[in-house]
Amino acid sequence: MLSSESEVIEARTRRDTEEFILFPFDLYRNDPLYSPELLRDQRSYFSPQNPFFNHADVKLFIAGDRGKTVGRVVSVVNYLHNERYGDKTGFFGFFESIRDSRTASLLMDRVADELRKAGMNRMRGPMDFSTNEQCGFLIEGFDYPPMIMTPYNPDYYPRLVEEYGMVKSKDLLAFIKEIPEGLPDKIERVARLAERRNITTRKVSKKNLLKDMQVFQEIYNESWSENWGFIPLQDDELTFLAGRLKDVMVPDLTLIAEKDGIPVGFLGLLPDYNGLLRKMMGRLNPLTIFKAFMGYRKIKDLRLLLLGIRPPYRNMGVDAVLLSKAFRYIKGRYERAEFSWILEDNVAVIRLVEMVGGRVYKR
């Protein structure tokens, strides 16, 4: 419960957590691009049942001024991160604030204090909650609506944290490409050669989703292991993720590549449901369900959010086969694809995206 003074409190009660979740609806109330996740999903995300909390210490904080909520943030001590990298880095995430340096500083000070008490000597963010989820501030591309599961924030956020003393760790890039009539000849040629070497693809099965997600987990943890900030996806997180994806994934856009029957790569695209979420504004009721049903077939954008190839099978055309297979379904159904997020120094993936005509439009 907030008092009449300017303060930052920890959200300990269900009521406080609800205030934490609902604050962005007030902050973005006049922003037509704001695309909130369903409240049902947000409540699940911040509940103790979220398996991320099994290996991390997470605290939620709310900033208030004269009894009114004006900001929020979380502090995260991710024990898996510190075990993997041998450092003492803590994180901040889910940062939201009015345009006020003092409010932002109060929030960041509270996180820094919590991390210091936990023995951390470095703070990084925003991470919501880790690199396996959303991370980073939008710093370019504010004129474009956010695609599904990508960051969106007011343009003053980077300035607020820079004034606090934070400096850039890494740029995360988003590329955009209008869906062409066909893929570049080189990709199709490489795909045909790879198929002759017994590289095939299959759709992820909703009926056996957890089993296929376990295949994805193995490939993801192996293929992304050298990426900046990578944290292996845990078994309990996989089950939680499968539950979140089951209703939104499209099997024709979620593919596993195999070489002689051995899973070697994956590709995951999602239709951009954010246009529907903007209409639903977090609510799930007969009216918003009807709006979602009517709007689904009008979705013309999609996002490539996952592409991974096991290291021994790279440079064998696996990525070309996956792209070629997905393109056959995409062509005629969608108009644009976003490729994100991609690390600024991931030269191999940037080269592949540029080969198909992608251009950076957000970072």
Q: Under CATH, which number does the domain 175-362 receive?
A: 3.40.630.30
Q: Domain locations in the chain?
A: 7-169, 175-362
- Output the CA angle 206-207-210, nearest 5 degrees: 75
β-pair partners for 243 = none
Asked whether the predicted pLDDT for residue 241 surpasses 90, the reply is no
Least confident segment among 1-10, 13-22, 119-128, 218-227: 1-10
Which residues, 6 or more positions from 285, have their beta carbon under 8 angstroms from its beta carbon? none
Residue percentage of the chain with pLDDT more than 90:
85
pLDDT at res. 258: 98
304-323 per-position pLDDT tens digit: 999 999 999 999 999 999 99
Asked whether the predicted pLDDT for residue 2 surpasses 70, the reply is no
Tokens of 301: 């954008």
Least confident segment among 63-72, 121-130, 277-286, 335-344: 277-286
Which fold does the domain 7-169 belong to in CATH? Answer: Aminopeptidase (3.40.630)
Largest CA distance in the chain: 71
- Output the CA angle 316-327-144, nearest 5 degrees: 110
Residue recorded with tokens 């850039």: 168
* pLDDT band at 1; cut points 50, 70, 90: low
Asked whether the predicted pLDDT for residue 352 surpasses 90, the reply is no
CB 113 within 8 A of CB 75: no
Asked whether the predicted pLDDT for residue 3 surpasses 70, the reply is no
pLDDT at res. 39: 95
268-295 per-position pLDDT tens digit: 999 999 999 999 998 988 888 888 888 8
Q: Comparing 7-169 with 175-362, is the CATH topology the same?
A: yes
pTM for this model (two decimals): 0.93
101-152 per-position pLDDT tens digit: 999 999 999 999 999 999 999 999 999 999 999 999 999 999 999 999 999 9
Asked whether the predicted pLDDT for residue 56 surpasses 90, the reply is yes
Residue 303 amino acid letter: R
CB 30 within 8 A of CB 70: no
Mean pLDDT rounded to a whole number for the chain? 94
151-190 per-position pLDDT tens digit: 999 999 999 999 999 999 999 999 999 999 899 999 999 9
